[in-house]
Amino acid sequence: MLTLEVNGEGVVRVSKREFANVAINYVVPKSLWDNLGKIEADRLQKNTESGELYQAGKSSRDDLRVELELNRAGPEEWTNFRQWVLENASHEHDSANDTPSPK
Protein backbone atom coordinates (compact mmCIF):
# COMPACT_ATOMS: atom_id res chain seq x y z
CA MET A 1 0.00 0.00 0.00
CA LEU A 2 1.15 3.51 -0.86
CA THR A 3 -0.06 6.38 1.35
CA LEU A 4 0.04 9.86 -0.15
CA GLU A 5 -0.22 12.81 2.20
CA VAL A 6 -1.95 15.77 0.55
CA ASN A 7 -0.47 18.86 2.23
CA GLY A 8 -2.25 21.63 0.35
CA GLU A 9 -5.66 22.36 -1.09
CA GLY A 10 -6.25 22.52 -4.78
CA VAL A 11 -7.92 20.93 -7.72
CA VAL A 12 -7.42 17.17 -7.81
CA ARG A 13 -7.23 16.02 -11.40
CA VAL A 14 -6.70 12.27 -10.86
CA SER A 15 -7.68 10.04 -7.93
CA LYS A 16 -6.45 6.52 -8.43
CA ARG A 17 -7.19 3.78 -5.91
CA GLU A 18 -4.66 1.43 -7.41
CA PHE A 19 -1.79 1.57 -9.86
CA ALA A 20 0.47 -1.30 -10.96
CA ASN A 21 -1.06 -3.55 -8.28
CA VAL A 22 -0.29 -1.03 -5.52
CA ALA A 23 -3.22 0.24 -3.42
CA ILE A 24 -3.20 4.02 -2.96
CA ASN A 25 -4.49 5.73 0.18
CA TYR A 26 -4.80 9.53 0.41
CA VAL A 27 -4.39 11.29 3.78
CA VAL A 28 -4.99 14.96 4.59
CA PRO A 29 -3.40 16.53 7.70
CA LYS A 30 -5.92 17.39 10.43
CA SER A 31 -4.98 21.08 10.30
CA LEU A 32 -5.86 21.27 6.59
CA TRP A 33 -9.11 19.34 7.13
CA ASP A 34 -10.12 21.67 9.99
CA ASN A 35 -9.30 24.73 7.88
CA LEU A 36 -11.48 23.46 5.02
CA GLY A 37 -14.43 23.13 7.39
CA LYS A 38 -13.92 26.63 8.78
CA ILE A 39 -13.78 28.18 5.31
CA GLU A 40 -17.03 26.45 4.30
CA ALA A 41 -18.74 27.55 7.54
CA ASP A 42 -17.55 31.15 7.04
CA ARG A 43 -18.85 31.17 3.47
CA LEU A 44 -22.27 29.91 4.54
CA GLN A 45 -22.39 32.47 7.37
CA LYS A 46 -21.58 35.33 4.98
CA ASN A 47 -24.29 34.16 2.57
CA THR A 48 -26.79 34.09 5.44
CA GLU A 49 -25.78 37.58 6.58
CA SER A 50 -26.06 38.94 3.03
CA GLY A 51 -29.54 37.45 2.68
CA GLU A 52 -30.61 38.90 6.02
CA LEU A 53 -29.44 42.38 5.01
CA TYR A 54 -31.42 42.11 1.78
CA GLN A 55 -34.54 40.86 3.58
CA ALA A 56 -34.27 43.74 6.07
CA GLY A 57 -34.13 46.24 3.19
CA LYS A 58 -30.57 47.25 4.03
CA SER A 59 -29.15 46.17 0.67
CA SER A 60 -30.46 46.00 -2.86
CA ARG A 61 -30.98 42.93 -5.03
CA ASP A 62 -27.85 43.91 -7.00
CA ASP A 63 -25.87 44.23 -3.75
CA LEU A 64 -27.06 40.77 -2.71
CA ARG A 65 -26.10 39.29 -6.08
CA VAL A 66 -22.60 40.81 -5.89
CA GLU A 67 -22.11 39.67 -2.28
CA LEU A 68 -23.16 36.12 -3.07
CA GLU A 69 -20.88 36.05 -6.12
CA LEU A 70 -17.92 37.30 -4.08
CA ASN A 71 -18.65 34.78 -1.32
CA ARG A 72 -18.75 31.98 -3.92
CA ALA A 73 -15.79 32.86 -6.11
CA GLY A 74 -12.85 32.29 -3.75
CA PRO A 75 -14.00 29.48 -1.46
CA GLU A 76 -15.58 27.36 -4.21
CA GLU A 77 -12.26 25.62 -4.88
CA TRP A 78 -11.92 24.89 -1.15
CA THR A 79 -15.44 23.46 -1.09
CA ASN A 80 -14.69 21.24 -4.08
CA PHE A 81 -11.45 20.06 -2.48
CA ARG A 82 -13.27 19.32 0.80
CA GLN A 83 -15.78 17.23 -1.16
CA TRP A 84 -12.91 15.33 -2.79
CA VAL A 85 -11.45 14.60 0.66
CA LEU A 86 -14.82 13.32 1.88
CA GLU A 87 -15.10 10.99 -1.10
CA ASN A 88 -11.47 9.88 -1.55
CA ALA A 89 -9.26 10.48 1.48
CA SER A 90 -8.98 10.20 5.20
CA HIS A 91 -7.72 12.85 7.56
CA GLU A 92 -5.34 12.55 10.48
CA HIS A 93 -6.58 12.84 14.06
CA ASP A 94 -5.04 14.70 17.01
CA SER A 95 -6.28 12.38 19.73
CA ALA A 96 -3.58 10.42 21.59
CA ASN A 97 -5.90 7.40 21.43
CA ASP A 98 -5.97 7.32 17.65
CA THR A 99 -3.55 5.25 15.66
CA PRO A 100 -1.33 7.56 13.58
CA SER A 101 -1.86 7.41 9.85
CA PRO A 102 0.82 5.45 8.01
CA LYS A 103 3.31 7.65 6.19
Q: What is the mean pLDDT of residues 56-76?
A: 84
Range of the domain at 63: 26-89
Is 74 within a domain? yes
Is 15 within a domain? no
Is 47 within a domain? yes
Is 8 within a domain? no
Is 11 within a domain? no
Is 12 within a domain? no
**Residue 2's pLDDT is what?**
87
Long-range contacts of the stretch 86-93 (C-beta < 8 A, 24+): 88/12, 88/15, 88/26, 89/6, 89/25, 89/26, 89/27, 89/28, 90/25, 90/26, 90/27, 90/28, 91/27, 91/28, 91/29, 91/30, 91/32, 91/33, 92/27, 92/28, 92/29, 92/30, 92/33, 93/30
Q: What is the mean pLDDT of residues 43-51?
A: 87
**Residue 7's pLDDT is what?**
80
**Residue 100's pLDDT is what?**
43
* Global pTM exceeds 0.75: no
Contact between residue 75 and residue 39 where contact means Cβ atoms under 8 Å apart: yes
**Tally of domains in the chain:** 1
**Residue 68's pLDDT is what?**
84
Is 103 within a domain? no
